[in-house]
Amino acid sequence: MIVVPGPASQSLGKKIAENLNAQIVPVNLKNFPDGEYCLRFEGDVTGEEVVVVQTTGPPQDTNIMQLLLMLDTAKELGAEKVTAVVPYLAFARQDKRFLSGEAVSAETLVKLIEACGVDQFITVNIHAKNTLKRFSVPTKNLSAITLLAEHFKGRGLDGAFSLSPDKGAIGLAEEADQVLGGGCGWLRKERDRYTGEVQVEEKSLNVQGRDVIVFDDIISTGGTIARAIKMLKSQGARRVYAACVHPLLIGEAKTKIIESGAEEIVGTDSITSSVRTVSLAPLIAEALAR
Ligand code: R5P
């Protein structure tokens, strides 16, 4: 097996290769003044099982284009099998036409990835699982929640309450509770489809004096998780932590979350950010080895 760490996932790709004891084929990127670039595999992939690792967080368009170029090139160069490891799949929140006339961006992205001849697709905590049904090749949606919860357990937060800021993500809190064992719950969130404004409904959570960890798949602007943390603090929660798989952390998200009362933000290296405390490498390597 050969691992190709893409430009957006250099460190994670290398760690995955280390975990698998696999050879790395680096990719060279030559940039042109007009913003275009040329990508070149610096090694032979003919007849090999190739794993391309490239996340698609911001800048999404560039990272997606590089992903497609790497997948297509690996096949063109004669790779026997190509697996796309895309820890964070961009546009996954637009998995249906919420307003008439909208692009179903997740579907378009799946079509493009498949058109590059990929044989297997692996991602982590995809926002809407139904997106994967659009692939005709085998897919895996790994979950990093157990890893995140184990991280907190290792830091003495065994017995903490696990909360999801959105009912649709209750599975995340339930999974974390399997490790932390302090019970779990959810909040109800509404997003205005026109303005994007988020409202989190007030709910009594029985968290007085307790440690709470709020688990979400994505932190983008930080608005959702900050509102949840404020509510927890106003209900007397002791220490509150923000945990997420994909820390996009746009703009002032980090400050917003800390100012809402969070002790800390813990994320994974799905996205290269300052909160990438937990590595996805063992999880992805294990799935590849399987
Ligand atoms: C959406 O439903 C996701 O699960 C996250 O809750 C959302 O992307 C977080 O966005 P923000 O940080 O901008 O509130």
Q: What is the pLDDT of residue 224?
A: 93
Tokens 């905590």 sit on residue: 125
73, two tokens? 């090139």
18, two tokens? 């280390």
Q: What is the pLDDT of residue 180?
A: 98
Cβ neighbours of residue 154 closer than 8 Å, sequence gap 6 or more:
none
Contact (Cβ atoms closer than 8 angstroms) between residue 198 and residue 228:
no
87 lines ligand 1 (CB under 6 A): no
Q: What is the pLDDT of residue 116?
A: 98
Ligand 1: distance of its center to the CA of 224 in Å? 6
- For the chain, 290 residues long, give each residue's pLDDT as a single digit of tens: 999 999 999 999 999 999 999 999 999 999 999 999 999 999 999 999 999 999 999 999 999 999 999 999 999 999 999 999 999 999 999 999 999 999 999 999 999 999 999 999 999 999 999 999 999 999 999 999 999 999 999 999 999 999 999 988 899 999 999 999 999 999 988 888 788 777 888 888 899 999 999 999 999 999 999 999 999 999 999 999 999 999 999 999 999 999 999 999 999 999 999 999 999 999 999 999 98
Residue 1, CA distances (Å) to 45, 46, 52, 64, 289 in order: 9, 11, 11, 23, 10
Cβ neighbours of residue 278 closer than 8 Å, sequence gap 6 or more:
144, 147, 148, 151, 266, 267, 268, 269
Q: What is the pLDDT of residues 84-134, one digit of tens each?
A: 999 999 999 999 999 999 999 999 999 999 999 999 999 999 999 999 999
228 lines ligand 1 (CB under 6 A): no
Q: What is the pLDDT of residue 198?
A: 77
Q: What is the pLDDT of residue 189?
A: 84
Ligand 1 atom nearest 223 alpha carbon: 14
Strands 264-268 and 81-86: unpaired
28, two tokens? 């060279």
d(CA 20, CA 22): 5
Report the b/e string of 59-80 with b at 16+ CB within 10 A.
Answer: ebeebbbbbbbbbbbbbebebe
Contact (Cβ atoms closer than 8 angstroms) between residue 267 and residue 242:
no
d(CA 220, CA 197): 13
d(CA 117, CA 120): 9
Residue nearest ligand 1's atom 10 by CA: 220
d(CA 198, CA 183): 26
Cβ neighbours of residue 137 closer than 8 Å, sequence gap 6 or more:
114, 118, 119, 120, 121
Q: Helix, strand, or coil here: 184?
A: strand
Q: What is the pLDDT of residue 193?
A: 79
Q: Which residues face 213 on adjacent strands?
A: 162, 241
284, two tokens? 């992805």
Of 199, 172, 197, give the one whose Cα is nearest residue 188: 199
Best residue for ligand 1 mutational test, from 89, 164, 224, 248 (most atoms within 8 Å of Cβ): 224
Contact (Cβ atoms closer than 8 angstroms) between residue 179 and residue 153:
yes
d(CA 21, CA 199): 47
221 lines ligand 1 (CB under 6 A): yes
289, two tokens? 């080895």
